């Protein structure tokens, strides 16, 4: 998987995931067993996964890359050193 999610994008995704967890578990009573709350909290897994892997399948599908120039260069250097 080629990285296509930059640092700022990753921070926003983690914050969004924390918000979804809070929303689902606290506001929709997911901790008390409310199905809607649990589902909202489970949806938080996706942005966390994307943030940690730095790869977004939807970005790849739409040819979007949120890496900064320095992140792209670092990724390219890493790929070249593996060869």
**Mean pLDDT score of the chain, rounded to an integer?**
94
The tally of CA atoms less than 13 A away on the side-chain side of residue 31 is 6
The pLDDT score that the predictor gives to residue 6 is: 96
Q: What is the average pLDDT across 26-55? A: 96
pLDDT score for 75: 82
Q: Where are the domains of the chain?
A: 7-82
Whether 47 contacts 14, CB under 8 Å: yes
Express each pLDDT in 3-21 by its tens digit.
Answer: 999 999 999 999 999 999 9
């Amino acid at each position: 998987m080629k990285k296509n999610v930059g640092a700022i994008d990753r921070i926003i995704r983690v914050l969004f995931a924390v918000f979804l967890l809070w929303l689902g578990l606290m506001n929709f009573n997911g901790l008390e067993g409310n199905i809607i709350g649990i589902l909202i909290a489970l949806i938080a897994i996706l942005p966390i996964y994307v943030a940690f892997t730095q790869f977004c399948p939807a970005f790849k599908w739409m040819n979007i890359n949120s890496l900064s120039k320095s992140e792209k260069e670092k990724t390219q250097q890493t790929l070249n050193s593996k060869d």
